[in-house]
Amino acid sequence: MRIAVGQYASSEDWTVNLKTCQDLIDRAAEGGADLLVLPEGAMALFVDEPTRIREAAQPLDGPFVSGLVERTRGSSTTVIAGVHTPSGDGRVFNVLVAARDGEIVGTYTKLHLYDAFGRRESDNVVPGTNPPVVIDVAGWKVGMMTCYDVRFPELARLLADQGAQVIALPTAWVRGPAKEWHWEVMVTARALENTVYLAASGECGRRNIGASMVVDPLGITRARLGDAPGLLWADASMEELERARLSLPVLENRRFAVDPRLERDV
């Protein structure tokens, strides 16, 4: 599998962000990518006015997602990006959309909301209640999770239980003390403890760290960006995955299962 990860500094103008995403989709397709992972909140930036997310949200058939989906038409590249959609109660959902060849092939609603480090995503966002989502991409099983989800190892393990060989992780990782270290540790750990490839896209700009990366099943970083916009590339090999799982059979050696029941609602 040929993996591309796109990173950019989101604008408050969704039309600007759509053009940026479309350009990244074109570049990924031209480079032969099977999978392109774009950031969380790809549609718009909400820094000084978090409540603005409510007015800026668009439905899945709105112009932003429609523009993304249409750009994939005629291409075998699967594109995964994070958007916000109306929930019906005044707040919004934080949704990952997977699109390929002009169609939506999967969606995932963020389960763990970022109520940490002095922020409260749940003030404006409704958490998902859906089970973990795994989609087929070029003969591979790709699981989806969003940003703060990476701090909860049970979700990545549930994706591995459903056969995930790659995990796509769109994020908007906020700057802060030790936050880049947390990012390195969490992304690497989720890949290593589940022997999967992990493709993490990080929004960059004045609020977020960027640092998009692809980590292999033995926890080695295969490609990484800094804090500037860019497109990184990495190749995943089924033979390499099988060797990793043979030499480090953690999925076979474990003694406990993960209970998929929700612990609580938000």
| 40 tagged catalytic | yes
Handedness of CA 184, 186, 78, 60 (dihedral sign): negative
Residue whose structure tokens are 């960059």? 204
Q: Is residue 110 flagged as an active site residue?
A: yes
Q: Which of 110, 121, 203, 204 is catalytic?
A: 110
Would residue 12 show up in a list of annotated catalytic residues for this protein? no
Query: Which residues, listed in sequence order, are joined to residue 136 by a DSSP beta bridge?
Result: 141
Which among 21, 121, 147, 204 is annotated as catalytic?
147
Q: Please give the Cα distance from 2 to 117 (Å, whole number).
A: 35
Q: Are 92 and 98 in contact (CB under 8 A)?
A: no
Distance between CA atoms of 238 and 233, rounded to whole angstroms?
17
User: Which one is catalytic: 40, 121, 203, 204?
Assistant: 40
Active site positions, annotated: 40, 110, 147
